A and B are shown apart, each in its own frame.
Chain A
Amino acid sequence: MGMDGVNGDGAQGAVAGDLRIGVFVCHCGGNISDIVNVETVVRQAAELPGVAVSTGHMFCCSDPGQAAIEQQIREQRLNRVIVAACSPSLHELTFRRAVARAGLNPYLFEHINIREHVSWVVEDKEQATRKAFRLIRAAVARAAHLAPLTKRRIQIHPSVLVIGGGIAGLTAARDLAARGIRVTIVESNPFLGGRLAQLYRIYPTGQRAREILDPLIRQVAADPLITVYTNAQLESSTGVIGDFRTTVRLTPRGVTEDCPDPQAAIDSCPEECVDQFNLGLSKRMAIYKPYDGCYPDLPAIDWRNCTKCGACFQACGGRGIQLDDQPQFVEIQSGAIIIAVGLNTYGPRHGEYGYGQYPEVITLAQMNRLLDPEGPTKGRLLVNGRTVRSVGFLHCVGSLQREGIHRPMADGKLNMYCSRVCCTTTMHTAEQVRERFPGVHVYDFHEDIRTYGRRHESYYDHVCEQGVAFIRFDPMRPPAVEADPKGEAALVVRTVDRLTAGEEIEVPVDLLVLATGLVARDMTRLIDLYRCSVGADRFLMEVHPKLRPVELAASGLFLAGSVQGPMDIGESTAAAAAAAAKASALISTGTIEMDPFVAEVREDRCSGCRICLNACPFSAITRNEEFARAEVNPAVCLGCGTCVATCPCNAIQQYGFSDEQIKAEVAALLAEKPEYGPGWQPRIVAFLCYWCSYTGADNAGTARLKYPANADIVKVMCSGRIDPELITSAFSWGADGVMVLGCHIGDCHYTSGNHKTMVRMPLVRRLLAQFGIEPERFRHEWVSAAEGEKFSRLVKEMTEQVRALGPLNWPSHLDAVGVGHGHDLEPWGEEQTCQITAD
């Protein structure tokens, strides 16, 4: 991976030479100028330090408006541009592009919003004009600290690593290869296919699972762009988006292509062991193939059960059998990684509904093997050699667990979630039983029937028509299973049927099928390697369930299929294709461009305290152990600025939102000397996160909700960037009140930036109280993008509250204390008065 610097030619500082700022104030065809006196504002702005041009325009965003800005930049050699117009969400990009066309770095541009935040919300024209000028003055002050920035460009290695060779991994790999992208599949088992290979018929199409799987595997195996490693376990990983390096350990297969007669090798093996593929319903040898037509079509040795007796070696004349191979390691370079390791089925504990206790109690997955004509019973419904006359299905085994009823899992947590696929699978299986074995009675014990998906309900309908008996149990009193005391059937299920008003019933069944839920695999390795996070359900957690359902928090890592939660086959393939689409987009661009507003650590100031590592929602910060300091990976940083507010040494800065810039802005908002007396206007600084609260303020504007002109908005990307120091600065510079508004908890554009705000602000409130600042002067609230009404109400309330309290006027307080404005006295060398004299 290569990355261009954030700053063109490392130019971090100001543009060489004097500041030449251009201020362009939009009339917006009266939308602004009907309320704001644009002429006054333009005239006042012209007198601000550094301003070379100050002018108004009817429509800045129009072609002539943009042309006028470009012309002024060229003719007046402007090196900073400010446009005061509508919301930046509408036209910031428009003006940035215009500035760039005129040959100026587009980040030397500052957009301020005097329409949605001023003219549309302030009724009093004089107040509106003053507020507009304050905002422009603040922008001018901020502009002095702007630096030319360039977008980050990250090069992407044109290949993808797919972890997992089940339906999701295979689908993703096939799709990517179809887009001409090189793919490596890493599967930990010796054979591809995952759980799908074990299924018999799948809903909602009723197809044989292998009708889907086999052609897919053939396609993947034949594709020259796809490399497959089976028996391959993840060993270690380094790198970030664009350039991941994953080391994989290849466990020897024991059998090579040279083997002249693999079947003879299998037949010669004396070591019989449990056949995992048939879920323990049959046996196989220690050298084995799970089923005919598996891929690779070459047996593998199960090292846990192999005694290395050499029988297979001899059966093959010593060719193609390698009993003493050592593991090999390969490093796989990739620009992106798709994680598709799938899930496990819940294994009932011994005695749970008679499982393990009675051979007639099996799981739904085992039932699927029994129904398979190629399965352990060749498709006959036999248990213990006995023909089955009645079957019971019991739902929610290992799912929807409840405290006090179910025993927690090994990690102490209950599986509270619904496993999503079991209801429909049960209906589908019951349907097959009724169709293939019409004499067999079927009972269904359920809490709810959740046949949610397309065509799922029709299975439910069918089995109802086919005479399956439904019994609804109370989850707080789950059914009990025991051997049938009368000996009529193998078992009896005792339960209360809520459908018949709580009648206690006993249902004799020859076979009880537990509709076992789905559980996450052990994710420890993935967490170690890729810093993935898991939810309370132990499945991997996507970065945002709505917006980015197939992405992990760290860029370049994608999720495909049921590694993320229970899914059926169609859902898994859809998720796999969606993940492939993300990876394909990443690879096909070759490089990605990202906003330059990243954080950067000043090495000479960082003490390596590691606190920022806790702050970053994206793990973009690591600690360089050699130099004991933090480093921001600009390829991973998304620019929320939460670390900047966190660093207790101010050793981290964010491009575009440095302390210097924000403080200059705040100071300029408060620069005007307030007029005390009857016309006194409270001065309130409002720090707003861009994604929710700023948009909420825009929303108040578009809805023309009027509120007082007293709250001046300072924009940051995330409320996590709002350093408590900014709040005390604002007060000490004369603010009468401060507001901090961010996205609601859970809505943060940066996942958890606002969690930091949630902790800091109450602490700030306590500090302020100790300094004697009334709690009404500081307000911290969550405002969403839709809550324009709330925003306007908050400003109204805040203004009224502060007005009632009167001026805070901290500068005069500091004067009274005797420290002036908190800065040093006159420079050394000037006359110092002194009363003590020599005798």
Chain B
Amino acid sequence: MAEIKQEYDGLVLGAGIAGMQAALDLAGQGFDVLLVERAPSIGGVMVGLNKVFPTLDCSSCICTPRMAEVAHHERITLLTYTELKHLERTARGFSVTLVKKPRYVVEEDCIGCAKCELACNVVVPHEFDYGLGAHAAVYIPHGNAIPQVAVLDPQYCMFDGACARACPTDCIDFTQQPEEINVQAGAVILATGLKLVPLDVKKEYGGGKYVNVMNPLAMERLQSPNGPYGHVMRPSDGKIPRSIAYVQCAGSRDKSIGVPYCSRICCMYALKQGIMIRQHLPETEVTIYHMDIRAFGKGYEQFYRRAVGEGIRVVKAKVARITEEPNKDLKLRVELIDEGGRVAEIRHDLVVLSQGVIPGWKPDGAAPVRIDEDGFFLIPEMAARPANSSHEGVFVAGVATGPKDIPDAIVEAGAAAMEAAMYLGRSQARAGGVQ
């Protein structure tokens, strides 16, 4: 862990692609930035993706250089495994209270060798792989993690000391406690990212009980070359799926569960995952049941047509219900809209629910920003100042202001950094500082 100063120009909360970009764009303008991430590694959702649409570049190939840039930037201080406790305006900017969670590993001493991980006798579901893979109770978050530093999960620890015995640098520290860190920041950027609509609200799709109904980010991990299985297989029994269904708008455009909006990225990732599946498993059928295909971005429509050309079946339909067969296959009751609403029952090996996107973090009083009725941060001037929150000096970027794809998140992060820079310039000018 780097030396934490008392004061920073900017605090960026969330080190996913938007937060990293905002930090870089702010630091690039000469401001000192504290970048805070609650997970043990930076990189957010993006570093766990396989490929990105519509270019099909490798996600980690383009994300990891950016992570390294953040880590090596002389004006950016990185604080991982840390959460925001409280944030409030003072005369001098913002007074910030952070809580650094115990890693039980001394960050600056750990050399990332994973000897502790290999020595540990307990395996635990890996959050990075959405539970499909495992890690030891003490582990390096993942191969591309930054920092490459181990973290111990005390929930599963058997207290046999195997890790401490194996550690060549004596960096396992069982005495660590949550640590409160107080800093001052001139401006704040919230880039707190996304979560998916929990499966249990979609009772008609099994409510999370069916093992072969999976979330799209988990599918992303399955497709990744460094994923939990190394192949696309279904979690119930390791079968290579021969027919995969994507159910779109599963938790989006659905007023009944409080997510009336479009989640914006699901059409494209379903098409992308479909293309990747068909490339690796040409005999596997991919069917996307959708309401509208929203291929609106640059090169997206072309990508959509390519996907159809590669044999992905795109069916305008409503999926009323999913039921699980004894062999864990899934039966979909489908209303085929383009066939005049004919109802059919269709069997698939594996179903991916294009679960809606919801905010990854809610301030709940920790930060003085207002939330809009859709749950995302309220933006008073959405057209003119899309990165300004309801609170002066607090800026927002990425999916925290609504679902969006990577380019839009990066662009908005730049905008948030620019707004923060202007704000800092003004407040420094007011304070008589040199700017």
Contact = CB atoms under 8 A, between A and B. Distances in A.
A and B pair up? yes
Interface of A: 28-31, 59, 61, 86, 89-90, 93, 175, 178-180, 202, 204-205, 207, 212, 216, 400, 416-418, 420, 423, 448-458, 461, 498-502, 535-537, 539, 544-547, 549-550, 564-565, 568-571, 573-582, 584-585, 588-589, 691-692, 695, 699, 702-704, 743-744, 746-747, 749, 784-790
A537 B299 CA distance: 8
Counting chain B CB atoms within 10 Å of each CB, which of A204, A744, A786, A789 scores highest? A786
Interface string B394-435: 000000011100111011111101110110011000000001
13 contacts: A28-B168, A29-B169, A179-B422, A452-B264, A545-B299, A546-B406, A575-B415, A691-B61, A702-B140, A703-B143, A785-B64, A786-B50, A789-B226
A240 to B, nearest CB: 19
Contacts of B118: 704
A549 B415 CA distance: 12
B292 A573 contact: no
Top 10 A-B pairs, shortest CB-CB distance: A29-B168, A578-B414, A501-B340, A585-B28, A577-B415, A454-B402, A784-B58, A448-B292, A581-B418, A577-B418
A179 B143 CA distance: 40
Interface string B114-152: 110010000000000000000000001001100010000
Contacts of B50: 786
A550 B298 CA distance: 13
B357 to A, nearest CB: 11
A702 B385 contact: no
Nearest to B61: A785
A786 B50 CA distance: 9
B29 A584 contact: yes
B422 A455 contact: no
Given A423-B296, A498-B338, 17 more contacts: A31-B115, A179-B422, A212-B384, A417-B302, A418-B295, A454-B403, A500-B340, A501-B340, A536-B302, A581-B26, A582-B25, A584-B421, A588-B29, A699-B226, A703-B143, A786-B50, A787-B226
B337 A499 contact: yes
A789 B402 CA distance: 36
Contacts of B144: 699, 785-786
B119 to A, nearest CB: 12
Given A28-B111, A93-B72, A458-B260, A453 B168 contact: no
A572 B190 CA distance: 21
Interface in B69-108: 72
Contact of A565 (B298, B302, B425): B298
B64 A578 contact: no
Interface string B314-343: 001000000000000000000001111100
A568 B413 CA distance: 17
Given A564-B298, A574-B411, A207 B383 contact: yes
Given A30-B115, A418-B295, A789-B225, A216 B384 contact: yes
A576 B58 CA distance: 27
B299 A746 contact: no
Contacts of A577: 387, 414-415, 418-419
A206 to B, nearest CB: 10
A454 B25 contact: no
B381 interface: yes
A581 B22 CA distance: 10
Contact of A417 (B52, B299, B382, B413): B299
A416 B64 CA distance: 33
A89 B294 contact: no
Contacts of A450: 292, 294-296
Contacts of B224: 786
A565 B302 CA distance: 14
A417 B57 contact: no
Contacts of B295: 418, 450
B168 A569 contact: no
B60 interface: yes
Contacts of B426: 178
B178 interface: no
Contacts of B298: 417, 535, 537, 539, 545, 564-565
B340 A502 contact: yes
A634 to B, nearest CB: 21
A784 B60 contact: yes
Interface string B329-370: 000000001111100000000000000000000000000000
B196 to A, nearest CB: 17
Contacts of B65: 547, 691, 749
B45 interface: no
A1 B357 CA distance: 47
B240 to A, nearest CB: 17
B425 A585 contact: no
Contacts of B401: 454
A450 B54 CA distance: 17
Contact of A588 (B30, B264, B414): B30
A672 B244 CA distance: 54
Contact of A501 (B60, B339, B415): B339
Contacts of A787: 58, 225-226
Nearest to A417: B301
Counting chain A CB atoms within 10 Å of each CB, which of B68, B260, B384, B402 scores highest? B384
A456 B382 CA distance: 12
A561 to B, nearest CB: 10
B62 interface: yes
Given A448-B293, A585-B29, A785-B144, A549 B383 contact: no
Nearest to B109: A62
Nearest to A703: B143
Contacts of B161: none
A454 B411 contact: no
Nearest to B339: A501
Contacts of B174: none
A545 B55 contact: yes
Interface string B225-262: 11000100000000000000000000001010000111
B383 A581 contact: no
B125 to A, nearest CB: 19
A582 B418 CA distance: 9
B281 interface: no
A545 B56 contact: no
A461 B254 CA distance: 11
B302 A416 contact: yes
B301 A461 contact: no
Contacts of A457: 253, 260-262
A703 B226 contact: yes
A480 to B, nearest CB: 21
A581 B417 contact: yes
Contact of B113 (A29, A89, A205, A746): A29
Contacts of B293: 448
A449 B292 contact: yes
B311 interface: no
A743 B387 CA distance: 35
Contacts of B203: none
B29 A179 contact: yes
A584 B419 CA distance: 12
Contact of B422 (A178, A498, A539, A573): A178
A752 to B, nearest CB: 13
A172 to B, nearest CB: 9
Interface in B178-206: none
Counting chain A CB atoms within 10 Å of each CB, which of B66, B68, B113, B401 scores highest? B113
A4 B127 CA distance: 49
A831 B301 CA distance: 77
B30 A589 contact: yes
B116 to A, nearest CB: 12
Given A416-B305, A417-B301, A570-B383, A59 B340 contact: no
Nearest to B422: A178
Contact of B28 (A205, A573, A581): A581
B421 A581 contact: yes
Contacts of B435: 180
